[in-house]
Amino acid sequence: MQRIKNYINGEFCTPSSDKWLDNYNPAKGEVYSQLPNSQKEDVEKAVMAAKKAFPAWSATSLEERSQWMHKIADAIENKLVLLAEAESKDNGKPLSLALAVDIPRAMSNFRFYANALTQFASEAHESVGKNTINFTLRKPLGVVGCISPWNLPLYLFSWKIAPALAAGNCVVAKPSEVTPMTSYLLSEICKEIDFPEGVLNIVHGLGANCGQAIVEHPQIKAISFTGGTKTGEHIARTAAPMFKKLSLELGGKNPNLIFADCNYDKMLKTTVKSSFANQGQICLCGSRIFVEEKIYDQFKDDFVKAVKKLKVGDPSDAKSDLGALVSKEHLEKVQGYIEGAKDQEATILCGGKPVKVDGHENGYYLEPTIIEVKSNHCKLNQEEIFGPVVTMMPFKSEEQALEFANDVRYGLSSTIWTSNIDRAMRLSNSIEAGIVWVNTWLNRDLRTPFGGSKDSGVGREGGFEALKFFTEPKNICISYEAY
Ligand code: TXE
């Protein structure tokens, strides 16, 4: 059986404890590889390698650093099929999705920051009358930690690593223990292109020891984390006494507000996607659907009909719209929410049951599920389920739609469907969320800030925001003698 290795100081290494974890293919429910169960000692080795590499890496010219980033992007592009197959096997997502979104996006993350780093300028402020000039340099932080989740493995891993490296930092990164394969393949890419040793170190293992060791390490100056809100809270508490910089992208319970005056066909098609893409395991999925009363019944009929047509199946089959959920534990967690629907006076409109896929009988498949709820205060509407489950209920007025949207602890993203530009602007301004989409969903421009408010986290990724996060501003003030 294949054993994935850590990548430290440009070398592949086994974990110091020689302990290994099983890695599952969720589509089949079987172990197909193993990964290191890394401990503090392995993280220590990675941090030391990164620290040693930092002076040279941070001193590379922008052109040279940019070329390295392009080389990684080129290699990802050349290995599109290999990486997409690995992602689909590791995560259970449809291969078609990994081919069209996950891997191309990982490539563009490197490509984008290869270019962005050459445009990231210092600021200068002349204080007229005082004869001083201030300029603000952006210095890399040193060694930074990147911890990523399992839902979009290489996509989110590269979303952190690319800006961290572009800004001149050396990185100790840990992918999710549930989906380590594509980050391992990325370390193979680094080896193949002779990427400078120690600049990127990838350590595999569990959150509680390997991840924790990264967060606790005093030499790691910043942590960029994407994952659950509970883990984010724990990381914030651990890192606070060391005054580490934190970027935390946590959960979401995103409202999808549908008004009667919207472009109905476009809305319906997009809502099916925004509810169930990647088996609903995207923090940006619109998991709470609120529909204006006068079109509620029509929407309910049409939405249920459209969702019943979705095919759950083998992720490698191009006809599958949904693949498997990421793990048995996660499937059980999601099923727990569905079972709880009865106690919340909620009605399952479609789905709700596990699916047996021919030849993959032990895989973790679940029907796309729509639940009609009576109140926005029920557990189904307040907790992040993170699976192929959406809730829906009607609203009477714009005010009520806004109240429903904001009455939740999360504030990641939101979607508004309306042709009324005034309403779109009013709601966009008032919705408590880091991202608002109007008449579209998951339309991302890499230059824009990405992240949430409330319990969805702190900080922003993307564009120059990420380069700002991974650098320390240093202001220099010069006084000069005037004529
Ligand atoms: O995430 P965790 P889990 C949500 C979703 C899901 C829930 C739990 O609701 O059901 O979170 O998922 C590492 N110190 N999201 O348990 O544990 C861990 O090893 C340092 C939303 O899988 O937060 C992994 O690499 N690191 C989300 C990463 O944190 C630690 C995407 C995420 O794992 C750690 C995924 C620790 N103490 C889940 N404990 C989104 N925002 O997109 C764990 N980790």
Which is the closest atom of ligand 1 to the Cα of 174?
25
Ligand 1, pocket-test mutation among 172, 209, 231, most atoms within 8 A of CB: 231
Task: For ligand 1, atom 28, name the residue with the nearest CA.
Answer: 149
> In the numeric block, which tokens belong to residue 350?
């479609």
Which is the closest atom of ligand 1 to the Cα of 251?
41
Cα-to-centroid distance, 296 and ligand 1 (Å): 35
What is the DSSP-derived secondary structure letter of residue 450? B
How buried is residue 97: exposed, middle or buried, by Cβ count under 10 Å (0-12/13-18/19+)?
Answer: buried
Distance between CA atoms of 295 and 417, rounded to whole angstroms? 13
> In the numeric block, which tokens belong to residue 72?
């990684």
What is the DSSP-derived secondary structure letter of residue 312? B
How many angstroms separate the Cα of 445 from the Cα of each of 95, 146, 417? 23, 22, 20
Cα-to-centroid distance, 150 and ligand 1 (Å): 8
Distance between CA atoms of 258 and 418, rounded to whole angstroms? 7
In this structure, how many other beta carbons lie within 10 angstroms of the beta carbon of residue 43? 28
Which is the closest atom of ligand 1 to the Cα of 156?
42
Q: Which secondary-structure segment (H or E) carries 454?
A: strand 453-454
How many angstroms separate the Cα of 204 from the Cα of each of 38, 93, 179, 368, 388? 6, 21, 10, 32, 28
Distance between CA atoms of 294 and 285, rounded to whole angstroms? 24
Instruction: List the catalytic residues.
Output: 249, 283
Which is the closest atom of ligand 1 to the Cα of 214?
20
Along the 483 residues of the chain, how does pLDDT read in single tens digits? Answer: 899 999 999 999 999 999 999 999 999 999 999 999 999 999 999 999 999 999 999 999 999 999 999 999 999 999 999 999 999 999 999 999 999 999 999 999 999 999 999 999 989 999 999 999 999 999 999 999 999 999 999 999 999 999 999 999 999 999 999 999 999 999 999 999 999 999 999 999 999 999 999 999 999 999 999 999 999 999 999 999 999 999 999 999 999 999 999 999 999 999 999 999 999 999 999 999 999 999 999 999 999 999 999 999 999 999 999 999 999 999 999 999 999 998 999 999 999 999 999 999 999 999 999 999 999 999 999 999 999 999 999 999 999 999 999 999 999 999 999 999 999 999 999 999 999 999 999 999 999 999 999 999 999 999 999 999 999 999 999 999 988
Cβ atoms of 437 and 415 within 8 Å: the answer is yes
Cα-to-centroid distance, 400 and ligand 1 (Å): 33
Which residues have C-beta atoms less than 6 Å from ligand 1?
A: 147-151, 174, 176-177, 207-208, 211-212, 215, 226-228, 231, 234-235, 249-251, 283, 384, 386
Q: CA geometry: angle at 381 spanning 376 and 386, to 5°? A: 165
Cβ atoms of 164 and 143 within 8 Å: the answer is no
Task: For ligand 1, atom 6, name the residue with the nearest CA.
Answer: 228
pLDDT value at residue 342: 87
pLDDT value at residue 481: 93
Cα-to-centroid distance, 242 and ligand 1 (Å): 22
Cα-to-centroid distance, 200 and ligand 1 (Å): 22
pLDDT value at residue 472: 97
pLDDT value at residue 262: 98
Cβ atoms of 192 and 74 within 8 Å: the answer is no
Domains located in the chain, CATH noted: 2-250+456-476 (3.40.605.10), 255-438 (3.40.309.10)
Give φ, ψ of 458 to 5 degrees. -130, 150
Cβ atoms of 119 and 106 within 8 Å: the answer is no
Task: For ligand 1, atom 14, name the residue with the nearest CA.
Answer: 212
Distance between CA atoms of 80 and 98, rounded to whole angstroms? 9
Cβ atoms of 222 and 144 within 8 Å: the answer is yes
